Structure formats: structure tokens, C-alpha cells
Amino acid sequence: MPAYLLAAACAVAIVFIASRLVKRARHAAEDAEPDGPTNSHAGAMLSALFLLAFAIAIVVPWTSADAARMNTNVEGQAIVEAYWSAARLPAGQGRPVQAALTDYARFVHDSEWADMRKGRLSADGWARLDRLRRDVTALKTTDDEPQDARTALLDHLTEIATARQQRAMDATSAPPPGLLAITVLTGLLVMVLPYLAGARPRGMALVPLFLMAALLGLGVWLCFDIQHVFSGALAVGPDAYAAALAELQRVAAGG
């Protein structure tokens, strides 16, 4: 933050020095009109800066939400594939693993998602997955088919763990606070710029100004509302795990 403030102060100092130098020039003309070149230039630049910050504040969370949604689908599909691999094990070994996979998917869907809206994953979820991986690793297999099934099952559990780790990172991701601050600051300046320039809007001239301010306020509020992947207008839901549970139920029923 001090570096940002120093950069802003240096920019203001450059403008001040330039204004003093130009003031001494004989060809310089006074510019005090609301629609003069100074206000027109400043207004265009402020609008451009606001649009740039606003676009980044929208695009970054949107992209993060899409990536997080894709990752949940990867984890859900890995759970289903692990369930199928467990079905290839002897019944006494495979059924407990299938039950643990179902419990894990149901836990994520029913319990853990509320924690993710707060920016964290449950420690119980990690414990469930770690326990499942240890149990599968400890399975004793001698024939080729069970050994192949155990190897495939461990690979799918690794995919689940990797997707879960990515989900933990997604739960804590957010745009830089400075970006939102710049969006708010430039938005406020764009709204009050006519008054800062010396204009006094009256009558019907206030209508488009009020409309612009209202829409701009909604846009800035949207930037704050979508900054977290698992809450707000773009929130990623547990749909992938609901689909995985339905698929596991279908497989268990022999469908």
C-alpha cells in the first residue's frame, strides 16, 4: 500500500510541476470551462480507468468460478470412477470402500459446502479421504484382477485428493483488495466529475446522471458480490456431488 500511495503522490507532483511550467509559457491559455480540454481529457481518462478496473474485477472472478466449477466436476467424476474400481475388488474389500466413497461425497454435498462459503474446507473431509487412502493402500491382494483394481482405485483417490486441494485453493481465492478499491474510487469520481468540473446540472440533465450513478452503483456492488467463488451471484454449487451421489446410487442398484 505505501508503494501505491507513493506512486499516486509522484503522479500528482508531476501534474503540479507541469502546470507551473505551462503557466509561465506565453502561449498557454486559461481553461476554466466545464467542457474545456482539461476536464474532457480527465473525464475520458477516469472513465477509461474505471472501465478497466471494472472489467478486471468482473472477468477474474468469472474465470475463477468457471475453473472451480470444472474442478468440482473432475472430483465428482473421480469419485464415481473410484466406486467402479472398488466394485472389481472382492466383496469383503470393495463394499467398505464403496460405502466410504459414498459417505465422502455426501459429506461434501451436505456439510462441507457451508464451510466453503466461509473460505475454508472441513478438517473432517481431509480425515475421511486420508483414512480411505490408507485403508486402500493396506488392502492385501494376490490375484492380478484385484491388484489392477487396487492400483486403479489408488489412482482415482489421488485424483480426488488433487481436486480437493484445488478446491481448497479456490475457496480462499479473491481479487486483490486494491482492485476493488480502485473500482470504487474511480466509480465515485466518474459520478461526481461534472460537479468537480464546475458544472451545475439542472432539470432533465439530472436524469441521465442519476441513471448512470444507479447502474454504476449496481455494477460496483456486483464486483463485491462475485469476488468469492462459492458465494454470491456466481457461486459454484455442489451440483457435481449431487450428480455423483445419484450415479453411485444407480451403480449400487445395478443400473
Across the range 19-28, mean pLDDT stands at 53
pLDDT of residue 134: 93
User: Is the pLDDT higher at 240 or at 199?
Assistant: 240
Quickly state the pLDDT bin for 83 (edges 50, 70, 90): very high
Across the range 200-217, mean pLDDT stands at 82
DSSP letter (8 states) at residue 25? S
Rounded to the nearest integer, the mean pLDDT of the chain is 83
63 pLDDT higher than 60:
yes
**And the C-alpha cell for 93?**
474389500
* Nearest alpha-carbon partner for 182 in 39, 44, 9, 48: 48
User: Is the pLDDT higher at 140 or at 28?
Assistant: 140
pLDDT of residue 245: 95
pLDDT of residue 66: 93
* Nearest alpha-carbon partner for 106 in 254, 229, 246: 246
Q: How many CA atoms lie within 13 A of 196 on its CB side?
A: 12
Contact assessment for residue 229 and residue 61, using Cβ atoms and an 8 Å cutoff: yes
DSSP letter (8 states) at residue 110? I
Q: How far apart are CA 229 and CA 59, in angstroms?
A: 12
Quickly state the pLDDT bin for 109 (edges 50, 70, 90): very high
> pLDDT above 70 covers what percent of the chain?
84
Across the range 189-210, mean pLDDT stands at 79
* Nearest alpha-carbon partner for 208 in 191, 195, 223, 196: 191
DSSP letter (8 states) at residue 218? H
Q: How far apart are CA 76 and CA 251, in angstroms?
A: 14
40 pLDDT higher than 80:
no
pLDDT of residue 36: 58
213 pLDDT higher than 90:
no
Q: How far apart are CA 37 and CA 117, in angstroms?
A: 48
User: Is the pLDDT higher at 144 or at 161?
Assistant: 161
Across the range 21-25, mean pLDDT stands at 53
pLDDT of residue 226: 87
162 pLDDT higher than 90:
yes
The residue written with cell numbers 456486483 in the block is: 222
180 pLDDT higher than 60:
yes
pLDDT of residue 93: 87
Q: How far is CA 176 from the centre of its chain?
A: 11
